[in-house]
Amino acid sequence: MTAVNVQQEESTKYSLQDAGFKKMMIAMTSASILVFANLYFVQPIMPLLADSFDITSAAAGLSLSAAVVSMIFGLLFFGFLSDRIGRVSIMNFTLVCTIIPLVLLPIAPNFETFLVLRFLQGFCIAGLPAAAIAYLGEELAPGSISLGITMYIAANAIGGMAGRIFVGYIADMASWQTSVYCLFGFSILLFIIYFMTLPKSHYFKPSERSVQKDLSGMGSHLKNTKLFPAFAMGILLQFSFTGVWTYLPFYLEQDPFNLSVKNISFTYLAYSFGIAGSILGGRLSSYFRQTKLVSVGTFILIGGTLLTNVHALSVIVIGLCLTCLGFFVAHSLMAAIVNERAAHHKAGASSLYLVSYYLGVATGGTLAGLVWQTGGWTGITLVSFGLLPVVMWLMAGSRKVLR
């Protein structure tokens, strides 16, 4: 393709002023809310699951980890597949499959069956994040890609917040089973909005490379010094973040707080600061070096986490807001860096970043459970604080590479 043809193609892609851009953002926002509400809805009801299935708090954390582990495999599988059959078909199919387990989870006869259903659901959840960023990168004009990605990631925060609050509130008013059925209805509504507004894919070009070459291409990302710090940050940031939010309900249901599940679910409104953080990070990246912004976001994350040790609800809420703000500033910039720095196999590079990101979720949800059982909430926050020197070392070493 000649330079003239490339310019002509880019001039016809959706930009901020186009109606197609607005439709795309409505569709991708709806899909993102659907997916991340379904991924994280178990967090506020973990104490209820522990009582219902007669399991420990650490075992209840597996309800999140099971979905995340299978999601990691799904990200790799659907990342490869979307390079061959297209982004939209992958997103359509996996969104439908994400909704189906919601009918079965409330009637699971035991916790083992519950985990199997969550494992299958997590694999399907991976379809959207594996294809979404590559889809936006292909269909949006160059000047609109960064904003499109940050808006999509902001919707990740909306979905996580909505799922936790929606399910937690209804579970406390009725039962956790009723809340999951309500999430099923909400998910169907979101899918209809997504399906009716998503523009067709016009610029996808199927990969003609063999699977072996694709594997080699993805392997090269692991050797790319421009990408490695982003993958490492995905693990480290999410490990500390997930530990806080997974064991927060157990922390707040104890003395001296004694909060109900309904009241605990309202603390997830702190995710609204994550939405602002995603957009803020994207806008500030036009004026400041991305690595500096990631470092600032990390400091804010750790500082907010430490504040939650104060036994005053107002201070804890402030700490949670700061935790979300800092995390999403850093995460949104890392996702944009990966998409920008990957010269080839962009969907594969995005999938690898998300694999590292959700590896942090899986380890933060399970290993943090051991910390919770031995060191309590102080232990959870000290884990986050202990990650700070590693994060700073990574950012110092990658400053020249990422800017």
pLDDT at 191: 98
Residue ranges for the chain with pLDDT beneath 50: 1, 3-6, 8, 400-403
Q: Locate 127 and state its tokens.
A: 């379809």
Residue 16 has what DSSP assignment? T
Q: Locate 83 and state its tokens.
A: 């390079």
pLDDT at 4: 41
pLDDT at 366: 77
Q: Locate 290 and state its tokens.
A: 């991305």
> Cα(155)–Cα(389) distance, rounded to whole angstroms?
30
End-to-end CA distance of the chain: 29
pLDDT at 8: 47
Residue 199 has what DSSP assignment? P
Q: Does domain 18-198+210-402 match CATH 1.10.287.130? A: no
pLDDT digits (tens, 9 = 90+) for 318-376: 999 999 999 988 887 877 777 676 766 666 677 788 788 888 888 887 788 888 889 99
Helices 271-284 and 290-307: crossing angle in degrees, nearest 10, is 160
pLDDT at 388: 65
Nearest Cα residue to 59 out of 50, 68, 48: 50
Domain boundaries, the chain: 18-198+210-402
Range 194-198, long-range pairs (CB < 8 A, 24+ positions): 194/27, 194/28, 194/30, 194/31, 194/34, 194/95, 195/27, 195/92, 197/23, 197/24, 197/26, 197/27, 197/30, 198/23, 198/24, 198/27, 198/28, 198/31, 198/88, 198/91
